[in-house]
Amino acid sequence: MTSTQRPSRQHVDEHRIFSALPETLRERVLARAEIVEIDRGETLFHEGDPARRIFLCEAGQLKLYRLAPNGNEKIIALLQPGSTFAEATMFMEERNYPVNCEALKASRLVAFDADDCVAMLREDVDACFKLMAMFSRRLRQRLTDIEALSLQNATLRVVNYLLQLQHQQDASEQLELPTSKKHVAGLLALQPETLSRVFAQLQEGGVIQVSGRRIRILDSERFNDITYGLAIS
């Protein structure tokens, strides 16, 4: 991991931007922001580490995850270019990261100083509102996750995940998993074997067609039905 380069306006503007911060304030944060380059497999921070910086993913892919003592890994979120993360640590009494963060691909991040960001937010209610909107969206996402974990079985979780992907991507019947099946399994709190079997079963039923990371939704009618709790037939 290196953190020598200085970020240019471009670096940030190229992408969806540290989305809570309006145009006028970006200049100031950038003054002390740093570019962080990180290799595949490297860890950006561990759960419990003091959180002095918040991040924007410019390029690459990372996972936020928690580990069970037995080594089981639950992926909390996949970070794609344009994602910001760790903002909530700014407001905690104890500022430390609540999860581990590791690069799944070589990645380039912009690291903002937490104190700088707080200082800026103090002077800009609009920025606060954008951040609050982001927190609200994230809270609702967590609610969806909790519902999935406590009320849905493996098949339903997979189906809902695929529908969500389909919606995020161009909404065509063809979609692509954003990462390896192993990590998708970690995201859905399943073992890789189970995910594999669910895919096999859905393919068996003629509902989807899987080839590597590409998935085609063949029978969107029945596919939707499954979401409402009907059997796989």
Partner DNA sequence: CGCCGTACTTGATTCAGGTCATGATTGGGC
Partner DNA sequence: GCCCAATCATGACCTGAATCAAGTACGGCG
Binding positions for its own copies, rule: CB under 8 A: 66-70, 72, 74, 76, 88-92, 98-99, 121-123, 125, 128-129, 131-133, 135-140, 142-143, 145-147, 149-152, 189, 228-229
| Amino acid symbol at 9 | R
Q: With respect to its own copies, which residue has the nearer C-beta, 78 or 175?
A: 78
Residues linked to residue 175 through DSSP beta bridges, in sequence order: 215
Using CB distances below 5 to 8 A depending on partner kind, what does residue 107 bind out of its own copies, DNA, none? none
Minimum CB separation from DNA for residue 216, in Å? 14
Q: Nearest distance from residue 193's CB to DNA, in Å?
A: 4
Q: Cα–Cα distance between 110 and 99 in angstroms, integer? A: 19
Task: Please identify, using beta-carbon distances, which residue of 81 and 192 lies nearer to DNA.
Answer: 192
Query: Cβ 1 to DNA, closest distance in Å?
Result: 15
Following DSSP, what letter does each residue of 162-231 receive, concatenated? HHHHHHHTTSSSEEE-SS-HHHHHHHTT--HHHHHHHHHHHHHTTSEEEETTEEEES-HHHHHHHHTT--
Q: Which is nearer to its own copies, 14 or 126 (CB)?
A: 126
Nearer to its own copies, 135 or 161 (CB): 135
142 binds, among its own copies, DNA, none (CB under 5 to 8 A by kind): its own copies
Q: Find all residues with CB under 8 Å of 55, minimum gap 6, and list them.
A: 36, 44, 84, 85, 86, 109, 110, 111, 112
One-letter amino acid at 111 equals A
Judged by beta carbon, residue 148 or residue 177, the one nearer its own copies is 148
Q: Smallest gap, in angstroms, from Cβ of residue 4 to its own copies?
A: 31
Ramachandran bin of 86, using left for φ above 0, alpha for ψ from -120 to 50, beta for the remaining angles: left
Q: Which is nearer to its own copies, 50 or 206 (CB)?
A: 50
Secondary structure letter of residue 71 according to DSSP: S
User: Which residues of the chain form contacts with DNA (CB under 7 A)?
Assistant: 40, 70, 72, 153-155, 180-183, 189-197, 199-200, 210, 212-213
Tell me whether strands 84-85 and 53-67 are parallel, antiparallel or unpaired. Answer: antiparallel
With CB under 5 to 8 Å by kind, the binding choice for 92 among its own copies, DNA, none is its own copies
Rounded to whole angstroms, the Cα distance separating 146 from 139 reads 11
